[in-house]
A = this chain, B = another copy of it.
């Protein structure tokens, strides 16, 4: 394929006419497809239906330690659920607090508590003139929404292939004690799909922040969400590494079973140091009597242990892998060599990150929408919804059935071409 920018203006104009005709044809099909959110597809949800059978009226809903899961009590989770989730999060069972159904809610709570009560005796953030967070970009829109909601100033940090720009992070946190946190999705990152290298994790653990209450918000959302059996990203465990580096309290690690069992009906958890746990429990005991233990028990009975859970994730991968591969194959086929976009080929997670020519992302998303394909809004992957280059688009291949996904992806590529041609012609005019 010839790169667009090497084509003559006449060639581009002819191409544009063809592309427009093709686009009109798509529009006439009145599509209604959605690649906006990282939602599992119906066939993935079917994998967990056995969860509805593991607790019946003839079963004993008692924990190994004798706790009746049907009644009040147990603030931080039943022992067997802690063990399962600790194994999933690769931490010690003593560092786990089990929460409700949403890790996003745990992250929200963590920021909200720091706002009103401060972290481990430090000044509540709401009493400070300025609180700042570092935000590797592109990143997860719902993270940025939490800090924006609380009036936290967000600073973009470029994401490289091996993780965020550590030189910049080290410098900023050492200089500015208003920087209180950083949002990270270290493994199969949302949306870039890459994972942090060993060196990046080691440098995170060895940060020397000016603020005593600086915390790494380590959202381990895709810890066991591999696409392949043989090629898997493995990260250094951050709690352990922080401890080794003499920074034991510097990290909050979050995870949930949302994309393992049922989104919205899973269990979420926080892993952190003893000091942080003691600090958090002062709030937790005011906030609730306890989270849903029956659902915790349901997860334990269904998965058995971490091996059962990993086996279950292979079944998810069997459904997701063909979808990811189809999108990537179409990208290569349709866009390869055109030099109008680049993308990362992830080995896990839920997203493919696409970088269009600067200034094109919004138009591409808008064109897709007008032909019936909903994508995550352009800019959503940046704080305040502002992508300075208007370039990044997050593709979520998991939800649509394969046939729909193919149509949506081809339309997406068409829109990339159309918008890119328009842009190049406009630059030449």
Interface segment, A80-88, A178-186, A260-268, A324-332? A260-268
Contact code string A53-86 (vs B, CB < 8 Å = 1, else 0): 1011101010000001111111000000000000
Roughly how many angstroms separate A105 CA and B285 CA in the complex, as a whole number? 10
Roughly how many angstroms separate A145 CA and B283 CA in the complex, as a whole number? 10
Q: Please determine whether A292 and B72 come into contact, CB atoms closer than 8 angstroms.
A: no
* Neighbouring B residues of A101 by C-beta, 8 Å: 100, 291-292
Contacts A57-B52, A294-B264 known; A108 to B288 CB distance under 8 Å? yes
Q: Please determine whether B57 and A50 come into contact, CB atoms closer than 8 angstroms.
A: yes
Roughly how many angstroms separate A126 CA and B151 CA in the complex, as a whole number? 14
At the interface, yes or no: A115 with Cβ under 8 Å from chain B? yes
- List residues 27-53 of chain A with CB under 8 A from any CB of chain B: 37, 39-40, 42, 45, 48-53
- List residues 181-230 of chain A with CB under 8 A from any CB of chain B: none
Q: Please determine whether A39 and B72 come into contact, CB atoms closer than 8 angstroms.
A: yes
Roughly how many angstroms separate A74 CA and B263 CA in the complex, as a whole number? 12
Q: Please determine whether B73 and A264 come into contact, CB atoms closer than 8 angstroms.
A: yes
At the interface, yes or no: A384 with Cβ under 8 Å from chain B? no
Q: What is the distance, in angstroms, from A317's C-beta to the closest C-beta of chain B?
A: 18
Contacts A37-B72, A116-B116 known; A289 to B52 CB distance under 8 Å? no
Which of B53, B102, B116, B287 has a CB less than 8 Å from the CB of A104?
B287
Roughly how many angstroms separate A37 CA and B289 CA in the complex, as a whole number? 11
Which of B104, B112, B264 has a CB less than 8 Å from the CB of A71?
B264
- When C-beta atoms are compared, the residue in chain B nearest to A149 turns out to be B286
At the interface, yes or no: A420 with Cβ under 8 Å from chain B? no
Q: What is the distance, in angstroms, from A400's C-beta to the closest C-beta of chain B?
A: 13
At the interface, yes or no: A146 with Cβ under 8 Å from chain B? yes
Roughly how many angstroms separate A40 CA and B295 CA in the complex, as a whole number? 19
* Neighbouring B residues of A69 by C-beta, 8 Å: 264-265
At the interface, yes or no: A293 with Cβ under 8 Å from chain B? yes
* Neighbouring B residues of A72 by C-beta, 8 Å: 37, 39, 258, 263-264
Q: What is the distance, in angstroms, from A324's C-beta to the closest C-beta of chain B?
A: 19
Roughly how many angstroms separate A51 CA and B258 CA in the complex, as a whole number? 22
Q: Please determine whether B145 and A286 come into contact, CB atoms closer than 8 angstroms.
A: yes
Q: What is the distance, in angstroms, from A199's C-beta to the closest C-beta of chain B?
A: 34
Which of A42, A73, A74, A286 has most chain B Cβ within 10 Å?
Answer: A286
* Neighbouring B residues of A142 by C-beta, 8 Å: 286, 289
Roughly how many angstroms separate A105 CA and B105 CA in the complex, as a whole number? 12
* Neighbouring B residues of A105 by C-beta, 8 Å: 287-288
Which of A50, A74, A112, A126 has most chain B Cβ within 10 Å?
Answer: A112
- List residues 260-319 of chain A with CB under 8 A from any CB of chain B: 262-265, 283, 286-295
Contacts A50-B57, A71-B40 known; A102 to B289 CB distance under 8 Å? yes
Q: Please determine whether B45 and A71 come into contact, CB atoms closer than 8 angstroms.
A: yes
Please give the residue numbers on chain A whose beta carbons come within 8 Å of chain B beta carbons, in ascending order.
Answer: 37, 39-40, 42, 45, 48-53, 55-57, 59, 61, 68-74, 100-102, 104-105, 108, 112, 115-117, 124, 126-127, 142, 145-146, 149-150, 258, 262-265, 283, 286-295
* Listed A/B pairs (8) with beta-carbon separation below 8 Å: A39-B71, A50-B57, A70-B262, A102-B290, A105-B287, A264-B293, A264-B294, A292-B292
Apart from A69-B264, A70-B264, what 10 extra A-B contacts exist at CB < 8 Å? A39-B71, A45-B70, A69-B265, A71-B262, A100-B292, A101-B292, A112-B112, A115-B116, A116-B116, A262-B294
- 8 residue pairs, one from A and one from B, having the closest CB atoms: A265-B294, A49-B57, A72-B263, A45-B70, A149-B286, A70-B262, A108-B287, A105-B288
